[in-house]
Structure 1
Amino acid sequence: MNWTLEVVSVPVSDVDRAKAFYADQLGFVVDHDTKGSAGMRFVQLTPRGSGCSVVLSNRPVGMEPGSLKGVQLVVNDVKAARAELASRGVDVSEVMVHAREGQRPMREGDDLNNVGICYFDDPDGNSWAIQQITARD
């Protein structure tokens, strides 16, 4: 039996602001924008090349805006991904490396496979990481 992760709920305070951030600044594809009863709204977006989407909601059950932490996007070139986000106005950290001595800034010549990572927050403070994986053991 396959177990696939298809959707991650992202709690936001302003759906329009969040939709603009995820679509325009991150480049996620808008799958649908649905308005429900009593002001409830869901916007589903999918990162390019991903089998998992995010759903932005102003009324997620049991989650406050900004409470999502630790979700990771995986790319094959973290430096290029970081540069793309920075060019789109995202406040993204420098590329860091998980090394034996702990996390440190990337140095010239570092092999970033599995250990290169950078971070950003959405407008509500939901925290994301971007990890480079070019080969899996």
Structure 2
Amino acid sequence: MSATDWKLEVVQVPVSDIDRAKHFYAEQCGFAVDLDAQVSDSVRVVQLTPPGSACSIHLSRGIHSMPPGSLEGLQIVVGDIEAARRELLERGVGVSPVRHVEGGVWVEGKGGKWNSFVFFSDPDGNGWVLQERPRA
């Protein structure tokens, strides 16, 4: 890797209950569990990666000062917003309808290129956004 390559590879996600969050992300969202390590008596780190992603998340307590549920706008890009929404619903995740921005206002339904979104939150309230990328 060159000194000029900057790659975002891990995002810290503050949670109150690591086991509950691990279940949510692995079992309900389909993220792969890469690591589950007890670093010390007070620090445990669980690393999970969304399907096809180069960036992972760390569920952690005792490492940072962010309160559980304080993150919003964590964004994942998907090829088919309706299929991704359907998969989350089938896994028991509460998700919004597909929405897009029209005239500065959120409306239901798919929009144009890069303008179709689905929103959901983890059990602590950390907010996620799925965004459909344009087809090649």
Tell me the distance in 1 between the aligned counterparts of 2:54 and 2:12: 15
Please say if residues 100 and 107 of structure 2, whose CA atoms lie closer than 8 Å, have aligned partners that are also in contact. yes
Gapped regions of structure 2 (runs ≥ 5) = none
Q: String of CA shifts for 1:5-43, please: whole Å, max 9, x gaps.
A: 100000000000000000000000000100021221100
The answer on 1:12 being equivalent to 2:15 is: yes
Aligned to 2:118: 118
Give the superposition deviation at 1:62.
Answer: 2.0
Distance 1:112 1:28, change over 3 A: farther
Distance in 2 (alpha carbons) for counterparts of 1:54 and 1:112: 29
Say which SS state the counterpart of residue 94 (structure 1) adopts: coil
Tell me, which stretches of 5 or more residues in structure 1 are unaligned?
none
Which of 45, 53, 58 is residue 56 of structure 2 equivalent to?
A: 53
- Structure 1 stretches of at least 4 aligned residues deviating more than 3 Å after TM superposition: none
Instruction: Indicate the residue corresponding to 1:3 in structure 2.
Output: 6
Alpha-carbon contact 2:101-2:111 (below 8 Å) kept:
no
Q: Partner residue of 1:131? A: 131
What is the aligned-residue RMSD (CA, Å)? 1.4
Amino acid at match of 1:55: H
Q: Secondary structure at the match of 1:45?
A: strand
Q: TM-score, normalised by structure 1?
A: 0.92
**Equivalent-residue separation in structure 2 for 1:128 and 1:92 (angstroms):** 10
**Structure 2 residue matching 1:20: 3-state secondary structure:** helix
User: Could you say which residue in structure 1 is the equivalent of 2:100?
Assistant: 97
Deviation at 1:100, TM superposition (A): 2.2
How many residue pairs match? The answer is 133
In 2, the alpha carbon distance for the partners of 1:63 and 1:116 equals 29
